[in-house]
Structure 1
Amino acid sequence: MTALARTLTDTDDDHLSLADFNRISALIGSEVGIRLPPAKRLMVEGRLRKRVRTLKLANLGAYGDYLFRKGGLDSELPFLINAVTTNKTDFFREPEHFEIIEKLLLPELISRRERNPLIKVWSAASSTGAEAYTTAMVLADQAAQRRDFRFAVLGTDISTDVLEQGRTGVYPAELIAPVPPGMQSRYLMFARRQGNRPEVRIVPELRRLVQFQRLNLMAENYGIDRDVDIIFLRNVLIYFDKVDQAKVITRLVGHLRPGGYLLLGHSESMIGTSITMRQIAPAVFQKI
């Protein structure tokens, strides 16, 4: 038996049983729409070992018992979701989208609205908030130049851990490398004394314009305003199956005002949905 095969047996106490992994996979699929195929088993186990230590359990087998045979699932579910969800994000990720917002979407949205409109932007899978704060930086620069609109940014995510980081607005200094120097000076605070891992913080003036709340994209109702101007849903649909992709997009589009925009990741598309939207740029769609 190979070493890999040995680690995947049900008799190894350092791993989830196949039955428990399958139950976790089904649970995460139904709760948040993320697929966890057998190839993800070792990854899931690696992420859950921190929870095993936090709960002072003996091993992953004991964690499975705690979830499914000792009544711990209800209280543990938010932590389980935090552990297994992927939270990849960067400042100015896919920068073409922010150029399009500045040069095309924002002027068009303002031209169709009343004087000094409130432009609403929703980062629908915000992770730690880099996308939401990038958007806020771009809009704040434009608001200072144009002086003819206001804006508010909402970031939502299923993970309570990343939402808390978004609210505090503190990031490792290496993550802000893509932020242009001028924006760094305007919107970031650098500690006078840096520790072993330097950090920066979003300035309070910008943090006040960005709100964060927990939201499950698999929920039937989102409880979000239905006059949003721009929605980001980038690099999320790849984790859902086709049926759930269509449901999520349908619900999101229902929260866009007529003429509003949906921005997907460049690796994603509108295939699998029945929503009629006008594509105006790569991965940028307008509600008709």
Structure 2
Amino acid sequence: MTQQSTIAERKREFSFTHEEFKKLTSLVYSLTGIVLGDHKKDMVYGRLARRLRELGMRSFSQYCDLLDSKRSDDETGFLVNAITTNLTKFYRESHHFESLAAHAQKVTRDRSRLSDKTFLVWSAGCSSGEEPYSIATYLLSKVPSLSSWNFKILATDLDTNMLNKGKAGVYKADAIQSIDEPFKSVISDHCNIRGDSLYIKEKVKNHIHFKQLNLLHQWPMKKKYDVIFCRNVLIYFDTQTKNNLVSRYTDMLRDGGMLCLGHSESLHEKPENLHLHGRTTYFKGEVSS
């Protein structure tokens, strides 16, 4: 430990030993699979200090004792919500949306001759909802026939606070100021702006179902998906967990289905039937034009 970091720790409001840090990060790993290295100690302290104040505690030792007590089941939810990273914005990594629209156009064209007019999308790790709303608004704009289909988006996250924000569909109006065209016009057509707030229209919200889900637990979904978005989520897991998740995602895709990962999440190991088509965009099986 450097002299500078030692001085910083002395200035902290709460004592926070390395052993307490390791106990908390081990618990987070067992609950979520998220790996928090030693360089995340300041982040963990910052995320949990507010919780200690709310509980009237004076040290992380007291907090660890709470997590060891019979009341731990209630508190682990607060712990996970505090630690989970929630950085997102509308139409992040725009190249995925262009591929998404092309894929949806092909699927609707191929299935138009069939009775199966279902198009299912899963936004895994949806945070506060910007991703599923981006998916919904872009597809409704570029593939308008989907409005009459069974077009559903499952939006899941571990953090219940973020899910509640997503369900509300209310954001700051300036959240779309930095969006490039044509995305800005797309979101503008599917929201109302009143004062400093942006409200997603009900006709968009009706296509989305928000649900809490731990990706490491059993998945209750029975149907397979045409598209799965899991962006900037895998980076928090170790290699084995990451590989297992990608394999499970592949199993959950329909033949020809599309998997979108984050910009820094290239796969070194992947199922044989998952093929890369463009930046961090994969398809299950061979994809015809």
Provide TM-score, normalisation by structure 1: 0.89
CA contact (8 A) 1:129 1:163 kept: yes
1:123-146 Cα offsets, whole Å, 9 max, x none, are 011001101000000111134367
**Which residue in the other structure is 2:36 paired with?**
36
SS of match in other structure, 2:248? helix
CA contact (8 A) 2:121 2:227 kept: yes
Where do 5+ consecutive residues of structure 1 fail to align? none
**Which residue in the other structure is 1:93 paired with?**
92
**Which residue in the other structure is 1:185 paired with?**
188
Which of 92, 103, 106 is the matching residue for 1:105?
Answer: 103
Which of 221, 226, 237 is the matching residue for 1:229?
Answer: 226
CA distance in structure 2 between the partners assigned to 1:46 and 1:79 by the alignment: 14
**Which residue in the other structure is 2:144 paired with?**
144
Relative to structure 1, the CA distance from residue 67 to residue 278 in structure 2 (aligned partners, 3 Å threshold; closer, same or farther) is: same
Look up the equivalent residue of 1:93 and give its one-letter code.
R
Relative to structure 1, the CA distance from residue 266 to residue 98 in structure 2 (aligned partners, 3 Å threshold; closer, same or farther) is: same
Q: How does 1:61-140 map to 2 (within 5 A)?
A: 61-68=61-68, 70-102=69-101, 104-113=102-111, 114-115=114-115, 117-140=117-140
1:266 paired with 2:263, answer yes
- Alpha-carbon distance, 1:211 to partner: 0.8
Look up the equivalent residue of 1:72 and give its one-letter code.
R
* 231-240 or 181-190: bigger deviation: 181-190
1:2 paired with 2:3, answer yes
Where do 5+ consecutive residues of structure 2 fail to align? none
CA distance in structure 2 between the partners assigned to 1:277 and 1:150 by the alignment: 26
- Percentage of pairs with the same residue: 31
Provide TM-score, normalisation by structure 2: 0.89
**Which residue in the other structure is 1:208 paired with?**
206
1:90-117 Cα offsets, whole Å, 9 max, x none, are 1000001101111x21122223322571
CA distance in structure 2 between the partners assigned to 1:30 and 1:204 by the alignment: 38
Look up the equivalent residue of 2:54 and give its one-letter code.
T
CA distance in structure 2 between the partners assigned to 1:66 and 1:136 by the alignment: 42
- Alpha-carbon distance, 1:173 to partner: 1.8
Relative to structure 1, the CA distance from residue 58 to residue 227 in structure 2 (aligned partners, 3 Å threshold; closer, same or farther) is: same
Q: How many residue pairs end up in the alignment?
A: 279
Look up the equivalent residue of 1:287 and give its one-letter code.
K
CA distance in structure 1 between the partners assigned to 2:210 and 2:92 by the alignment: 19
* 58-67 or 124-133: bigger deviation: 58-67
Look up the equivalent residue of 1:54 and give its one-letter code.
E
Q: How large is the RMSD of aligned CA atoms in angstroms?
A: 2.2
Look up the equivalent residue of 1:240 and give its one-letter code.
F
**Which residue in the other structure is 1:54 paired with?**
54
Look up the equivalent residue of 2:243 and give its one-letter code.
A
